[in-house]
Amino acid sequence: MIEVNITISNKMGLHIRAASLFVQAVTKYKSIIKIIKNNFEIDGKSIISIILLGVECGCKLKFIIDGPDETEVLSTIKNLFSSKENSKI
């Protein structure tokens, strides 16, 4: 199991398009992905849950990744949030 904290830097937060890109990127993995905001935990593969989480710019999220490909998932998540090309996230 891997836990990592990420602060959202996108001015629009984790909006619908960014949430969609995130879900598309992580659903191909077998690992379970949980996202926690203010002690509220959601399924990281559910676009509806991510949108309802209401993630704004500057929000700190905890990602918990557990499964056989967790290191690959972590790499994908970090790339999504740090890549200049994917500044939507």
Residue 10 sits in a domain whose CATH number is 3.30.1340.10
Total domains in the chain come to: 1
Identify whether 35 is part of a domain: yes
Quote the pLDDT of residue 84: 55
Contact residues for 54 (Cβ-Cβ < 8 A; gap 6+) = 13, 37
Q: Which domain holds residue 68?
A: 2-82
Q: Mind listing the pLDDT tens digit for each residue in 5-17? A: 999 988 888 999 9
Using alpha carbons only, give the angle 4, 27, 83 rounded to the nearest 5 degrees.
Answer: 55
pLDDT at 83 over 70: no
Predicted local confidence at residue 11, as pLDDT: 86
Domain-located, residue 89: no
Average pLDDT over residues 43-67: 96
Q: What distance in Å separates the CA atoms of residue 74 and residue 51, rounded to the nearest whole number? A: 20
* Stated pTM of the model: 0.89
